[in-house]
Structure 1
Amino acid sequence: MSDKIYREEVHFTGRVQGVGFRYATLQVAKEFEVTGEVKNLPDGRVYLCAEGKESEVTAFRDELVDRMKPFIRETEIKTEARPSSYQSFSITH
């Protein structure tokens, strides 16, 4: 059994701060078996890191993008398989 898990690091650009993006992300995460974090970045972007089964992580991201589409101008995604870094999903600062 592999100790590596699917991980996505996503940077959202647009009007993604001050619109409840992090809270919405936390709420959507509760609907999926994912762990990770979401936080605002000083440059105005939002950073999302999500880990879990690939199908859960991609479905989570797709649902989040669908719900927050009016605020997102660009989405950059980096994927990898690595040991898990999170026990739950949270908003960080």
Structure 2
Amino acid sequence: MTPPPDARLLRIRGHVQGVGYRNALHREATRLGLSGWVRNRSDGSVEALAAGPAEALDHLVAWARRGPPAARVDEVGWEAAEPPADAGFHREATL
């Protein structure tokens, strides 16, 4: 029996909107085979729920600390979360 995937809710702060951060995180999460979503938040941060193997999640968090070239990441926080109900990784509307 396969154990359920780990899941993390990430919040990324800094200059992370208007620089392609959300799309780049979507590409990276998809490349890593993770499920979940990413969205901009009205406070200027980016939020993502990602689920999958712990090693892939660690890679995503490390990537999130760098982001795409035009971004300036000041902080990446995360907490354990429930995995998303849907498979695949997608973009959600701003909250």
Q: Which has the higher strand share?
A: 1
Q: Distance in 1 between matches of 2:7 and 2:67?
A: 21
Q: Distance in 1 between matches of 2:29 and 2:3?
A: 22
User: Does residue 12 of the first structure (1) align with residue 9 of the second (2)?
Assistant: no
Counting matched residue pairs gives 92
Which amino acid counterpart does residue 12 of structure 2 have in structure 1?
F
Q: What is the CA RMSD across the aligned residues, in angstroms?
A: 2.0
Q: Distance in 2 between matches of 1:73 and 1:20?
A: 16
4+ runs deviating over 4 angstroms: none
Seen in structure 2, the aligned counterparts of structure 1 residues 84 and 17 have a Cα distance that, compared at 3 Å, is closer
State whether residues 6 and 52 of structure 1, in contact with CA within 8 Å, keep that contact through their aligned partners in structure 2: yes
Q: Distance in 2 between matches of 1:83 and 1:62?
A: 20
Q: Distance in 2 between matches of 1:22 and 1:49?
A: 12
Q: Residues 6-85 of structure 1 correspond to what in structure 2 (within 5 A)?
A: 6-68=6-68, 70-80=71-81, 82=82, 84-85=84-85
* Structure 2 unaligned blocks of 5 or more: none
Percent identity, aligned pairs only, is 23
Partner secondary structure for residue 37 of structure 2: strand
Shift of 1:21: 0.6
Seen in structure 2, the aligned counterparts of structure 1 residues 2 and 51 have a Cα distance that, compared at 3 Å, is same
